[in-house]
């Protein structure tokens, strides 16, 4: 597609439930990133996929967070047993180099 597509755009979930957030990167972009944007915290790196290499999971805040990228394209970020502190905007970006970095519009997650 023309841009990075994320779904859903908004998600309200009850504490303790699992959620899945989806990212469709730009076709041809080999790298895919997940970031979290919390109020007053800026953007926090979560995980990075590059081609067929093992993902860089160094930013995942706990083992409740996981992500996969199927077929080198679509990625799903899963948060298990959601907590209120997980409420944030989850941003996906894709690139094939630093000058082509493109962000999606994000998924706003609210845990109630």
**Binds other proteins (CB under 8 A): choice among 27, 52, 84, 99:** 99
Nearest CB to other proteins, comparing residues 82 and 94: 94
Q: Report the C-alpha gap between 40 and 20 in whole angstroms.
A: 24
| Residue 56 β-bridge partners | 48
Q: Report the C-alpha gap between 8 and 59 in whole angstroms.
A: 22
| Chain residues 10-49 in contact with other proteins, contact rule CB under 8 A | 31, 33, 35, 40-45, 48
Q: Which stretch binds other proteins (CB under 8 A): 19-27, 68-76, 79-87, 89-97?
A: 89-97
91 binds other proteins (CB under 8 A): yes
* Least distance (Å) between residue 36 CB and other proteins: 11
Contact residues toward other proteins (CB under 8 A) are: 31, 33, 35, 40-45, 48, 50, 56, 91, 95, 97-99, 101, 103-106
């Amino acid at each position: 597609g023309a841009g990075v597509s994320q779904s859903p755009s908004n998600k309200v979930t009850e504490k303790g439930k699992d959620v899945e957030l989806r990212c469709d990167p730009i076709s041809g972009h080999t790298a895919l990133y997940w970031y979290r944007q919390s109020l007053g915290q800026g953007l926090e790196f979560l995980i990075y996929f590059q081609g067929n290499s093992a993902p860089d999971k160094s930013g995942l805040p706990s083992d409740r967070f996981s992500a996969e990228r199927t077929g080198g394209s679509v990625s799903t970020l899963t948060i298990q047993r959601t907590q209120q502190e997980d409420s944030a905007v989850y941003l996906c970006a894709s690139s094939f180099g630093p000058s082509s970095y493109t962000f999606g519009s994000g998924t706003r997650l609210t845990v109630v």
